[in-house]
Amino acid sequence: MTERRALFPDMSPTRWSVAGVVLLALCLFPLAESNQYVLTVFVTSMILAVLNISWNFVLGIAGVWNFGQLAIYALGGYGAGILMLHTSLPAALDVIVGGLMAAAISIVMAVPTLRLFGIYTSLLTFAFAEVVQYVIENTSTGLTGGTFGFPSVRGLYGSLSPVVAMHAYYWTVLGIIVISMVGVALLSRSRLGIGLRAIRDAPGFAAARGVSPLRYRMLAFALSGFLAGVAGALYLSFNQSIAPTVMGLTAMSIDVTMLVIGGLGTLFGPIIGTTIVAVVETLLVSYPGIEFTVVGAVLLVIVIFVPGGVVGLASRVRSRLPTWNARPRPGVMGSGSSPPRPAAALGDGVPALHTSDGQER
Amino acid sequence: MTDLVGILVTTVILGSIYGLVAIGMTLIYGTLRILDMSQGSMVMIGGFVAWGVLVSAGWSPVLAILFAFAATFLLGTATQLVSVQPLMGRRNSIDFEMITFITTFAVAMILTNVALEVFGPEQRNVTPVISGSVDIYNGVNLPYQSIAMAGVAILFMVGLWAFLGMTRWGMAIRAVAQDLDAARLMGVPVSKLYPVTMGLASSLAGIAGVFLGSLYFAYPSAGNLPLLEALIVVVFGGLGSLSGTVYAAYAIGLIQAVTEIFIGTTWDLPILYGVIIVVLIVRPQGLRGKPSEARL
Amino acid sequence: MNEPLLEIRSLSAGYGSATVIQGLDLSVRAHESAVIIGPNGHGKTTLLRAIAGLVRASEGEVRFDGVPINGRSPERIAASGVVLVPQGDGLFPEMSVEDNLLMGAFVSSSWRRRRESLERVYSLFPQVKERARQQARTLSGGERRLAALGRALMRTSKILMIDEPSLGLAPIAIDAVYGAIAELKERETTLLLVEENFSHVRGVADSFHLLEMGTIVRTGSYDELVKDEEIASAYLGSAVES
């Protein structure tokens, strides 16, 4: 138990029990629910959750502004699909190989981002995704099925009856979510996670300390790409097909909204965000068309008014209570470009933190 | 020789229209330090306005341009007020660019889906602004529409250049781009200037949309490809550099013209993307960007 | 003329949670030239930025020309006649010197007279006229300071605030800058200067205000202040040696 606490520092015993109950309920849910539509919504959302966990790792924890994750996801799906269609390998192996292919492409995508900063990275990765989509839609090789989508495949559990297959997919995806969450939690506390955050927050300093951006970021992209690719392969498998629309602008908006609403860079953010958006989408299903407009509006409101997403909001509310009275002590600060000020001016040796609103601009 | 003339003509036409879409993005990035993902939607809306004015109402192309200008100017201004202005307080945080990337993206999503609700998904034919064509060199056939398009695009780019270089408010936009605090000390009302700048930039995209709409079609996702092309141009030219954007627009027009003639249209985007990667690996700040920070 | 042009009462301001200026009082009469002296990092620049509206005041009041201006945006304060030459000059680096000067006349009342103002600045600073077509970033430090001063003169100002006119300049350039400031004083411009010590400002100042630890600790004429040995040894600077 102590080991676990170290792994999830935010988790109190109460929260562990809540999480346990939720997980147990999720495990048992398909046995109680016989409506195949509801289960389909659940599995689809859970597959998206896997994708979002992988994206959150690169975007939130490694801090690389990668907007090409959906291309990796789609490529994992297409890769697995091509294997299922043209080889006789076991389907589970196809899913894993699809994930590995996605990881490889993700590494390739990582190379140019190593030299670029901020917005250039997002542009380049975004353009990468668009190009991948364009090629999938327009290639004349016939491998992808173009805009019409991939030819039908049997998928992972194609030999089972539909109802049993639904349960199998449900538990498989749920298992992958649990494994990947534990994995992300472990990785965040590992050398890799600490190194990634160091590169994110202070690239120069991290490099000077021997944290190699090359190795760390490549590894982050590889791991996240693998998970995204597996998610894509699961999507293909579950839907027995895949189409370029899984990675279009609309799909990307939905996923970005999920991440932002949940809270970028947090462990539970992707899950919470995916759940909220999936619920909203399901509620709006009888008003076709307005769902994306609503999702876009929600995204705007959350980004502007709730910067840390739901997880950030929750932790702010919690931390507010004890520190309500402890207002920061006024210290004397110099203007931005002044050289170090006399010690006397600092007041009781309060460390001179950098000004929060970047005076030097 | 025919190929050469064809390439040249295609370069000028494509380059001009890319320039017109991308220069607005550059203007916005230079001034507000945000990458406006709603620019593609402005192209789409320009296309629908053209359809409405030319096809539904049967009015003149000049009106189409004027209406597109006005509609996208207002929309661009509103976009700034809704999705960027509330965030200006966080302007100096490192996440500002990404946050506004997401919020303008959300606006694009809303606009696209509203257009989908209102107009439906089908592609609408827009009458060419001008019909007919001219044979400029044995077999290189050039529609008047394309000539007008390039002409108007160049006209607006020159107009923008003159506006920024010579007028009071144009200089103020440049001043804000270069030193925000100093510009405010000069009395430049930035809270008004920002929305107007974004409106202006959006209206350029809207005008491009009038022509692109009649060249292709008007439909809700008509802005996606122009957005992608503008992004490529903007990165290639160096974020925030107007001259770099213009060079990059024509360079990319050239690359695309060559690929289309010798390889085929399927591969022009991937090849462009490859070129961009190579350029960015050699010069991470693009053609004309400053190594650390892009400026107007 | 009884009320001072600029009056600051118990002003506190700073960045984020760090308060730089605390309970500061200061008043400047019209046509006076006031100088704030104090060590680095004690709030001189912050004070000027707070008056200009670039830094929000957390407490206190800034009255200019009889009306409270704290809380207004910098552009509104600028339009009411407060001109600040900021630290580092704040020239627009990628604009020509002439465009920089024209930006100085951005406020609509001054924009109409921009041609005459331009001629006036050029005759005052011939060195700036020589550089009119060059981009501002290509100027030397001294030329830059003069261009910034010239830009400040493009607008009808009621008070001209200059943040460390001598900072980072070679002695000969400092002389040129202070020559210009002396001329401004001659024309009865209301001036509020900030300097680290007395060495350059002695001749141009009517009153001195000593700013330490975020507040004004002494006010007086040069003669009054240098009687205090502690002040003399801390702030006379090179003036003592010469």
Residue of chain A whose alpha carbon sits nearest to that of C167: A338
- B83 vs chain A: nearest CA distance in angstroms? 7
A309 token code pair = 């997403």
Question: pLDDT per position in chain A (361 positions), as tens?
Answer: 444 445 666 667 787 888 888 889 888 888 888 888 889 999 999 999 999 999 999 988 888 888 899 999 999 999 999 999 888 888 899 999 999 999 999 998 888 777 777 777 887 888 888 888 888 888 777 788 888 888 888 888 888 888 899 999 999 999 999 999 999 988 888 888 888 888 887 777 887 888 887 888 889 999 999 999 999 999 999 999 899 888 877 788 888 889 988 888 888 889 999 998 888 888 888 877 787 888 888 888 888 888 778 888 887 777 765 554 444 444 333 333 333 333 333 333 333 333 333 333 3
- Mark yes or no for CB contact B181/C86 under 8 Å: yes
Residue of chain C whose alpha carbon sits nearest to that of B177: C92
What is the reported pLDDT for A229? 96
Q: Are B202 and B79 in contact (CB under 8 A)?
A: yes
The pLDDT tens digits of the residues spanning C108-117 come to 889 999 999 9
Of B10, B32, B33, B41, whose CA–CA distance to B230 is shortest? B41
**Within a 10 A sphere around the Cβ of A288, how many other Cβ atoms?**
8
Torsion of CA A282, A283, A288, A293, to 10 degrees: -100
- Mark yes or no for CB contact C40/A341 under 8 Å: yes
- B296 vs chain C: nearest CA distance in angstroms? 8
Annotated domain spans of chain A: 37-247, 249-322
List the single range of B70-74, B130-134, C133-137 with lowest mean pLDDT: B130-134
What is the reported pLDDT for A7? 61
- C16 vs chain A: nearest CA distance in angstroms? 6
What is the reported pLDDT for A322? 56
Considering only CB atoms, C95 lies closest to which of B178, B185, B190, namely B178
Q: Which chains touch A (3 or more CB pairs under 8 A)?
A: B, C
The pLDDT tens digits of the residues spanning B190-199 come to 989 999 999 9
pLDDT higher at A86 or B92: A86
Considering only CB atoms, A335 lies closest to which of C19, C46, C213, namely C46
What is the reported pLDDT for A302? 86
The pLDDT tens digits of the residues spanning B96-148 come to 888 888 899 899 989 998 998 899 888 888 877 777 888 877 777 888 888 88
The pLDDT tens digits of the residues spanning C114-127 come to 999 999 999 989 98
Report the distance separating Cα C26 and Cα C37, nearest Å: 13
Mean pLDDT (whole number) for B74-82 = 95
Report the distance separating Cα C10 and Cα C23, nearest Å: 4
pLDDT higher at A214 or B289: A214
The pLDDT tens digits of the residues spanning B34-44 come to 889 999 999 99
Paired strand residues for C18: C15
The contacts of residue A150 (CB under 8 Å, 6+ apart) are: A77, A78, A81, A144, A236, A241, A242, A243
The pLDDT tens digits of the residues spanning B206-255 come to 999 998 888 888 888 888 888 888 888 888 888 888 888 999 999 999 98
Q: Which residues of C touch B171 (CB under 8 A)?
A: 95, 99, 102-103, 106
Question: CA–CA distance from A123 to each of A71, B36, B83, B170, B233 (Å)?
Answer: 14, 11, 19, 27, 11
- As a whole number of Å, the end-to-end CA separation of chain C is 39
| Alpha helices by DSSP H, chain C | 44-52, 74-79, 97-104, 108-111, 114-124, 126-130, 141-152, 171-186, 222-226, 229-235, 238-241
Report the distance separating Cα C202 and Cα C218, nearest Å: 16
Report the distance separating Cα A305 and Cα A324, nearest Å: 21
Q: Which chains touch B (3 or more CB pairs under 8 A)?
A: A, C
Chain B interface includes A126 (CB < 8 A): yes
Sorting pLDDT into bands at 50, 70 and 90, what band is C2? low
Interface of B with A (CB under 8 A): 35, 82-83, 86-87, 90, 92-94, 97-99, 101-103, 105-110, 112-114, 116-117, 180-181, 221, 224, 228, 231-232, 234-235, 239, 266, 269-270, 273, 276-277, 280-281, 284
Q: Which one-letter amino acid corresponds to residue B2? A: T
Residue of chain C whose alpha carbon sits nearest to that of B179: C92
What is the reported pLDDT for A329? 40
- Mark yes or no for CB contact C79/B172 under 8 Å: no
Q: What is the mean pLDDT of chain B?
A: 86
- Mark yes or no for CB contact A249/B108 under 8 Å: yes
Considering only CB atoms, A260 lies closest to which of B102, B113, B273, namely B102
What's the residue count for chain B?
Answer: 296
**What is the secondary structure of B228-286 as a DSSP string?**
HHHHHHHHHH-TT-HHHHHHHHHHHHHHHHHHHHHT-GGGHHHHHHHHHHHHHHH-TTT
Q: Which residues of C touch A353 (CB under 8 A)?
A: 18
Q: Which residues of C touch B186 (CB under 8 A)?
A: 78, 103-104, 106-107, 151, 155
Q: Which residues of A touch C45 (CB under 8 A)?
A: 335, 338
- C214 vs chain A: nearest CA distance in angstroms? 7
* Chain center to CA of B93: 27
B10 token code pair = 């295609």
Q: Which residues of C touch B187 (CB under 8 A)?
A: 75, 78-79, 106-107, 155
Q: How many CB pairs under 8 A join A and C?
A: 68
Q: Which residues of B touch A295 (CB under 8 A)?
A: 109
Considering only CB atoms, C106 lies closest to which of B178, B188, B295, namely B188
Q: Which residues of A touch C214 (CB under 8 A)?
A: 332
Q: Which residues of A touch C39 (CB under 8 A)?
A: 341-342, 345
Sorting pLDDT into bands at 50, 70 and 90, what band is B289? low
- Mark yes or no for CB contact C15/A339 under 8 Å: no
Q: Which residues of C touch B191 (CB under 8 A)?
A: 73
- Mark yes or no for CB contact C84/B185 under 8 Å: yes
Residue of chain B whose alpha carbon sits nearest to that of C50: B185
Residue of chain A whose alpha carbon sits nearest to that of C164: A338
Q: Is C126 helix (H, G, I), strand (E, B) or coil?
A: helix
Considering only CB atoms, A357 lies closest to which of C16, C41, C43, namely C16
Sorting pLDDT into bands at 50, 70 and 90, what band is C192? very high
Of A195, A218, A179, A201, whose CA–CA distance to A53 is shortest? A179
What is the reported pLDDT for B269? 77
Residue of chain B whose alpha carbon sits nearest to that of C100: B175
Gyration radius of chain A's alpha carbons: 23
- Mark yes or no for CB contact A118/B94 under 8 Å: yes
Q: Which residues of B touch A120 (CB under 8 A)?
A: 235, 239, 280, 284
Q: Of B184, B185, B241, which to mutate for an interface test with C (greatest number of C Cβ within 10 Å)?
A: B185
Residue of chain A whose alpha carbon sits nearest to that of C56: A357
Place of tokens 């002003």: C11
- C133 vs chain B: nearest CA distance in angstroms? 13
- C239 vs chain B: nearest CA distance in angstroms? 32
Report the distance separating Cα A191 and Cα A137, nearest Å: 40
- As a whole number of Å, the end-to-end CA separation of chain B is 38
Percent of chain B with pLDDT over 70: 95
Report the distance separating Cα B42 and Cα B23, nearest Å: 13
Strand-strand pairing, C33-37 and C207-212: parallel
